[in-house]
Every structure is written in structure tokens, then in C-alpha cells.
Amino acid sequence: MKFKWHDRYAALLVLSELIFLFVLAVGLLPLFLPSRPDGQSLEVVSQDSPASSSNAEDFIKWGDFDVNAEAMRQALRFDVDSYGQELHFNWLELLAYLGARYGGDFSHYKPDDLEELIQKLQQGAVMEELTKDMKYYPYYLEAYGAVLGGMTGVYEIQIPDEATGEPVWVTKYGLKAFSPIAKNYPYQDFDDFGASRSYGFKRQHLGHDLLGQVGTPVIAVESGYVEAIGWNQYGGWRLGIRSFDKKRYYYYAHLRKNYPYHKTLKEGSYVQAGDVIGYLGRTGYSRTENTNNIEEPHLHFGLQLIFDESQKDGNHEIWIDCYELTKFLVMNRSETVKNQESKEYYRVWQMKDPTIPGGAKSQDIAID
């Protein structure tokens, strides 16, 4: 906002200078907030840790994710269908092109726009030429890559043999990320990102709630390692899983009372996409551990982007709206089965993700 001052308002000028000094002292000037491509700013609050300061460096300091599920499905299909061919369409480049064209607002999305882009590429155009005048194409390519970059690739997975039903290993290319809710378990959701929350202090809801039944198996969306596990007064029993490239931090909260996690997990554990990591519940909103203070059982699923480690905790965290992402991931839900003796759930079809250090495999199934 710009101010015009007149001499007769000298007293107001003094007051404004005092306010300026106060704002500067607490570090909330827009200069220090994450910058959006359109020049606006967004401040967020930590899910887990107290605020910390960060010096401005050359990395993305703000990001949103407005790509709808339909666009992701269509772009992925072009990518997968062209894999191994001379002209391979990279779905991240396709989505970044649309993001730059729409200014990040996918309410303008039309399937014909992507079809038109594919036709241009098939006719010999190259992405570098098509995007040379798109100022923010590099931004969207990096930002969308940070969200989706670990969700596709080559991997091995078991499928049932058509004749015997026994598991056989196949090598695939495509989506290797999973819905956070196991297959065959119902849930309800709506876009609640940014909604007001008041427990503890007034703040924004920096995640996506999936309402379901207590005990529903919760699934690792992407392969990674357990960075946080235990009680948090806001999230109750919660898990924080970091992707191996360290760009994404997945936050699973309000897990089940008494038995929140899969017994194999501890801090530092490796998990593969599709593994059972815990169980849906309603813990949280209490300083006392193992307390059910959430009225409606649900999984709070959050995704934080980390372009620099200084963004991990504090006022410069970047949490994205996961509503459309979870709608997209419904196409890949991990099937689970219960060990009747231990009461633990395991994935049915094992997977080998090459991103896991040392080639570790999925959880061993233990069914009597």
C-alpha cells in the first residue's frame, strides 16, 4: 500500500515509523516472506516446530499447487504411453507449460489445451522454443517437479498371475506413488486447505483431512525415511516421512490411540511407497499423550515442499493443498491384509523401488 503524507499529519508519520520499527523487529516485513511469482506473499505456521529465521537465498520461497486431478491423469497418460519411444512426453514439462499458460490457475484447464501442445511437439516443435517467452515456465517446472518428481519412474512390483493367482514380479514405468488410504477402505473428503483452526492459537489448516473409520490402514504415499515419529499436541500420534531427495516431507497425523504405527517403524526407518505405516484415528489437541480429542476420526495428510533446508521449520514453510493430489492418487491404492495373530496389517503386493538406498524391499508380509 502507498501512503501520501501532508504536513498537518506529522503526528501520524511518527506513529507509522514506530509501527514500522516494531514490524521490522519481529521479522514480519514482506521482504522476508516467501515470494510468489505474482508478487504476493504467504506466511505459514509450523506443524511441528517453533519458528526459526532464514536468510534469503536463491531458491523458491513460495509455492502452491493448483493442478487438478484431471490434468495430472491426462499428462501422465501421455508420458506413460510414450515411454521408450523416440518422442517421450515428460508429464512435468506438460503440466509446467499449462501452469505458465494459466498463471498457475487450473480452473482454466481444458483437455484440448494439452492435446494442442502434444500436436505441436509431434509436428517437430521443442519445449524450449514453445516456452521461451513464458517468464514463469522455469518456476512451474521446478515447483511441480518438487511435488510430483518422486511419484513416477521405473519400479518392480508383484501382480497376480492370470492362471494361478500367485504373485509374479513385473517391471513397470509410471505412477509408483499411492493413495494415503488403503484399498477397499471408504473415506470422505473435501478441499479444506487453509480453513481456520483455533486449538492453541488461530491458524490455517495446512493439510488435507480424509475422514474414515478408526483403524483404517494408512499408506506411505512415496518411498522415504521416517524423520519424525511420536506425539505432538496438535497432530496427536503423527509420522513425518521425508522423500529420499529431501524435497518432500509427508505429514500423517491423528493416528490411532494405543496402536498408532506399524510395528516395524522407528525414526530413520525406510519405507516404500504402498507400505502400511499406521492406522487412522482421532488423537491430538492435547498436551497429554495418547488422548482422543478429535471429534471426527480422520487422517490429516500434509505435504511440505523443501527447496532449502532453512525452510524445513519456521515461518517460511511451504505446505500445499493436497486435495486434487489425493483425487489423482486414488488410481493407485495399496491392497492390505491383516495378520490375525499380531493384528498388524501388511501390503499384499510387494514392491522394489530403486530410489531406496541399498535396494531395501517392502515390508515382509507375515500372514499365518
On whether both 232 and 302 belong to a single domain, the answer is yes
Residues 141 and 232 both lie in one domain: no
Burial class of residue 337 in the structure, from the number of CB atoms within 10 Å of its CB (0-12 exposed, 13-18 middle, 19+ buried): middle
Q: Within this chain, do residues 232 and 292 fall inside the same structural domain, yes or no?
A: yes
Question: Considering the domain boundaries, does residue 4 fall inside one?
Answer: no
Pairing of strands 336-338, 318-319: unpaired
Looking at residue 57, what is its pLDDT?
65
pLDDT in tens, the chain (368 residues): 332 333 333 343 334 444 444 433 433 333 223 333 433 323 333 444 433 334 446 888 887 889 999 999 999 999 999 999 999 999 999 999 999 999 999 999 999 999 999 999 999 999 999 999 999 999 999 999 999 999 999 999 999 999 998 999 999 999 999 999 999 999 999 887 777 676 666 667 788 999 999 999 999 999 999 999 999 999 999 999 999 999 999 999 999 999 999 999 999 999 999 999 999 999 999 999 999 999 999 999 999 999 999 999 888 899 999 999 999 999 999 999 999 999 999 999 999 999 998 765 555 443 33
Residue 5 in any domain: the answer is no
The Cα 208–Cα 194 span in angstroms is: 9
pLDDT of residue 200: 60
Domain end: 148, 175, 199, which one? 148
pTM higher than 0.95, yes or no? no
The secondary structure of 307-359 as a DSSP string is: SSGGGSSSTT-EE---HHHHHHHTTS---EEE-TTT--EEESS-EE-TTSGGG
Residues 195 and 344 in one domain: yes
- Give the domain range for residue 327: 188-357
Count up the domains in the chain and report the number.
2
Among the candidates 99, 130, 148, a domain finishes at: 148
In sequence order, the β-bridge partners of residue 197 are 203
157 falls within a domain: no
Q: Which long-range contacts (CB under 8 A, 24 or more apart) does 358-367 make?
A: 360/270, 360/272, 361/272, 362/272, 362/274, 362/275, 363/262, 363/264, 363/272, 363/275, 363/276, 365/337, 366/339, 366/342, 367/337, 367/339
The pLDDT of residue 361 is 59
How does DSSP assign 274-288, residue by residue?
T-EEEEBB-B-SSSS
234 shares a domain with 311: yes
Write down the pLDDT at residue 61. 85
Q: What pLDDT shows up at residue 339? A: 94
- Give helix then strand counts, H and E, for the chain: 7, 17
- In a domain, residue 24? The reply is no
Return the CATH number at 253: 2.70.70.10
**What pLDDT is attached to residue 205?**
75
**pLDDT number for residue 261:** 97
Say what the pLDDT of residue 84 is. 95
Q: Which of 148, 173, 197 is the last residue of a domain?
A: 148
Burial bucket for residue 231 (CB in 10 Å: 0-12, 13-18, 19+) = middle
In a domain, 182, yes or no: no
The rounded distance, in Å, linking the Cα atoms of 95 and 198 is 36
Residues 343 and 197 in one domain: yes
Co-location of 329 and 237 in the same domain: yes
78 within a domain of the structure (yes/no): yes
**pLDDT computed for residue 362 by the predictor:** 56
Sequence-distant (≥ 6) Cβ neighbours of residue 165 within 8 angstroms: none
Strand intervals (E) in the chain: 152-160, 167-175, 188-189, 196-197, 203-204, 208-211, 217-219, 224-232, 236-243, 248-253, 270-271, 276-279, 298-305, 318-319, 336-338, 345-347, 351-352
